[in-house]
């Protein structure tokens, strides 16, 4: 079983409008709702790849109830192990401008988690680790959760002998990386914030010195850069992709984690992760991927050992 953790789950609401204009009223042409938060997105992709997945984190109030209902309906291969909290879970609202294709995002902060609720989550997490082959710790921290939460969760997983992929940002990443996760997956901006360097290659090496065993950086259309104990590799699709990048980073996490569990080497891990990311960008629904497109894109990905060049 692969365990995903989404401490700040969300109900993702997407509005589509013909054109988004400031200070104007808009007629919405379509509304969609999905269970959201980075870890739940990762869980859906892992399940689509055929892996047994359990999703945990917090879900509370009426919004949390809808998240759980939609998770059961939209991701039947994902086991719901979310922990209830008294405060209501957040919503994220995306407004898609159909004329330009641009998306404007509004993210609520999330529920206030009490000390007792955090303690209950830690007990649930420790129990779930006993059956986990790997764990993904993903996304922002809701109010009330300690800023060092991911460091605590990384250390618990390491004690249980379970490899961890950490995908977060800011102070949560800074503290989490010091606990020595197996992999971190920042984007270029998050990596620069962590290390102070805007040059990705030395920045990934710096991040490894801070504690991560491997650093995989998302470079947007330029693919992924991975620095590991065994070398440095870069992987990218051979052409620019037009589409919606929403959820592409979560597909990268799913690709890396599934390949780790399957024992694939780093070039194969990056090949899968970039192909999944590309298939997500090209999918008609944001944050999903078409398995047929994934198989078509996969052979076009190239991997180079940047440590040799």
Annotated active-site positions, please? 250
Judge whether 259 and 276 are in contact, CB under 8 Å. Answer: no
10 Å Cβ neighbour count for 268?
Answer: 14
CB proximity list for 2: less than 8 A, separation 6 or greater? 46, 51, 52, 53, 54, 132, 133, 134, 135, 136, 257, 258, 261
Residue 135 phi, psi (nearest 5): -140, 140
Q: Measured between alpha carbons, how far is 45 from 258 in angstroms, rounded to an integer?
A: 10
Structure tokens at 166: 């950490």
Place of tokens 């569990």: 261
169 burial level (CB within 10 Å; 0-12, 13-18, 19+)? middle
Burial (CB count within 10 angstroms: exposed 0-12, middle 13-18, buried 19+), residue 284: exposed
């Amino acid at each position: 079983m692969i365990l995903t953790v989404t401490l700040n789950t969300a109900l993702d609401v997407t509005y589509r409008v013909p054109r988004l204009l400031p200070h104007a009223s808009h007629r919405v042409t379509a509304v969609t709702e999905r269970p959201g938060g980075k870890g739940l997105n990762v869980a859906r992709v892992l399940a689509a790849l055929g892996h047994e997945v359990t999703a945990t984190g917090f879900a509370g109030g009426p919004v949390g109830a809808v998240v759980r209902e939609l998770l059961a309906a939209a991701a039947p291969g994902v086991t719901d192990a979310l922990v209830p909290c008294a405060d209501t879970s957040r919503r994220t609202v995306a407004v898609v401008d159909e004329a330009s294709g641009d998306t404007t995002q509004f993210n609520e902060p999330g529920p206030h988690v009490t000390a007792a609720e955090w303690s209950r989550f830690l007990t649930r997490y420790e129990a779930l680790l006993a059956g986990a082959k790997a764990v993904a710790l993903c996304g922002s921290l809701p109010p009330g959760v300690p800023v060092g939460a991911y460091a605590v969760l990384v250390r618990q997983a390491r004690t249980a002998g379970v490899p961890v992929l950490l995908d977060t940002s800011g102070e949560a990443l800074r503290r989490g990386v010091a606990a020595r996760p197996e992999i971190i997956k920042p984007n270029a901006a998050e990596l620069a914030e962590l290390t102070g360097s805007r040059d990705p290659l030395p920045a990934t090496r710096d991040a490894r010195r801070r504690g991560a065993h491997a650093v995989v950086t998302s470079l947007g259309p330029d693919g992924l850069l991975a620095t590991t104990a065994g070398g440095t590799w870069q992987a990218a699709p051979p052409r620019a992709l037009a589409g919606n990048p929403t959820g592409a980073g979560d597909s990268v996490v799913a690709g890396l984690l599934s390949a780790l569990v399957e024992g694939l080497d780093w070039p194969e891990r990056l090949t899968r992760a970039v192909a999944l990311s590309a298939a997500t960008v090209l999918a008609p629904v944001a944050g999903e991927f078409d398995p047929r497109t994934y198989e078509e894109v996969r052979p076009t990905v190239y991997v180079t050992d940047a440590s040799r060049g």
